[in-house]
């Protein structure tokens, strides 16, 4: 099993770099035997094009997913891995996503558990096509967003709900596998496998904003202090972060 992550490195900001560093530290700390590939991606710049960064990330996710030959998790790097993610593969599925029972927030698209089957690859192709349609057509994006917030995330929900081909798709609980802002106040720290540093928490960590959950805030701060005790200048080399310079902005 392999974990795959990508992150953009925007100009004049180290937020995603710091989030990714804590992500990698948490992975080594809590799942030390897990193999991973993490890529730093040039930040795409096309002025006035909404969702361009999200679209570019989805293209990269898709290309990486279609190259896999073993079980893999593809996930955002603004997370803390707490351990036990491999337990998901005890279940039978082609693709598993993390879900909750909330209107317009029925899932979080930042983590997918996949087996490299033909059905999984076809699903990735369908998802990227739905993203492209939403990227070029505002009415389609509005349609998707009326059911599930986000860009690639809403296209994922639309794909899941309307996929016409045989595939085994499983929903895993967000509160256990991908605890986001909706789950922070009810985290069971004995069982949670990943905590997602999103929205209000990110603003609190990197700016003078109200802290939405003190335990998550303190834990991330502690992990950052621990990981910064090592070599700071060469952390990418230490963690094996790779670059994908051939992935350039492409609005098509």
Q: What confidence tens digit (pLDDT) does each residue in 133-177 have? A: 999 999 999 999 999 999 999 999 999 999 999 999 999 999 999
Q: Which two tokens stand for residue 29?
A: 């700390």
Percent of the chain topping pLDDT 90 = 85
Q: What is the pLDDT of residue 42?
A: 83
pLDDT at 252 over 80: no
Q: What does each C-alpha distance from 57 to 32, 39, 138, 210 come to in angstroms?
A: 26, 11, 19, 29
Q: What is the pLDDT of residue 249?
A: 40
CA dist., res. 13 & res. 128, Å (int)? 28
What beta strand segments (E) does the chain contain?
2-9, 35-42, 72-75, 79-81, 95-99, 107-114, 169-173, 194-196, 242-243
CA dist., res. 52 & res. 219, Å (int)? 32
CA dist., res. 202 & res. 209, Å (int)? 9
The whole-chain average pLDDT of the chain stands at 93
Please report which confidence band the pLDDT of residue 230 belongs to, taking 50, 70 and 90 as the band edges.
Answer: low
Average pLDDT over residues 234-242: 92
Q: What is the pLDDT of residue 248?
A: 47
Instruction: Compute CA 15 distance to the chain's CA centroid, rounded to the nearest angstrom.
Output: 15
CA dist., res. 138 & res. 121, Å (int)? 26
- pTM of the shown model: 0.94
Instruction: Compute CA 142 distance to the chain's CA centroid, rounded to the nearest angstrom.
Output: 22
Q: What is the pLDDT of residue 234?
A: 87
Exposure b/e, 11-34, CB count within 10 A at least 16 = b = eeeeebbbbbbbbbbbbbebbeeb
Second CATH level (architecture) for the domain 2-243: Alpha-Beta Complex (3.90)
pLDDT at 43 over 70: yes
Q: What is the pLDDT of residue 139?
A: 97
Pairing verdict, β 72-75 and 169-173: unpaired
pLDDT at 251 over 50: no
Q: Output the CA angle 161-4-55, nearest 5 degrees.
A: 55
Q: Which two tokens stand for residue 40?
A: 């730093």
Residues 6+ apart with CB under 8 A from 185: 213
pLDDT at 245 over 90: no
Phi then psi for 133, rounded to 5 degrees?
-60, -45
**Between residues 83 and 247, the one the model is more confident about:** 83
pLDDT at 58 over 60: yes
């Amino acid at each position: 099993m392999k974990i795959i992550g990508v992150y953009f490195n925007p100009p004049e900001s180290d937020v995603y770099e710091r989030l990714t560093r804590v992500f990698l530290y948490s992975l080594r700390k809590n799942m030390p035997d897990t193999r991973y590939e993490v890529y730093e991606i040039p930040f795409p710049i096309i002025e006035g094009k909404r969702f361009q960064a999200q679209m570019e990330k989805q293209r990269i996710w898709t290309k990486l997913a279609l190259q896999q030959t073993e079980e893999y998790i593809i996930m955002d790097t603004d997370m803390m891995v707490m351990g036990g993610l491999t337990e998901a593969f005890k279940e039978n599925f082609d693709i598993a996503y993390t879900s909750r029972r909330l209107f317009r927030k029925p899932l979080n698209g930042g983590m997918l558990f996949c087996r490299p089957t033909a059905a999984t690859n076809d699903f990735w192709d369908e998802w990227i096509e739905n993203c492209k349609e939403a990227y070029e057509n505002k009415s389609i994006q509005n349609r998707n967003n009326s059911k599930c917030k986000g860009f690639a995330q809403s296209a994922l929900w639309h794909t899941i709900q309307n996929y016409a081909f045989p595939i085994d798709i499983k929903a895993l609980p967000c509160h256990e596998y991908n605890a986001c802002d909706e789950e922070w106040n009810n985290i069971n720290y004995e069982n949670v496998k990943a905590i997602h540093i999103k929205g209000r928490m990110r603003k609190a960590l990197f700016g003078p904003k109200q802290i939405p959950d003190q335990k998550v805030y303190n834990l991330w701060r502690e992990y950052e202090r621990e990981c910064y005790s090592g070599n700071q200048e060469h952390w990418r080399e230490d963690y094996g972060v790779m670059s994908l310079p051939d992935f350039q902005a492409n609005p098509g």
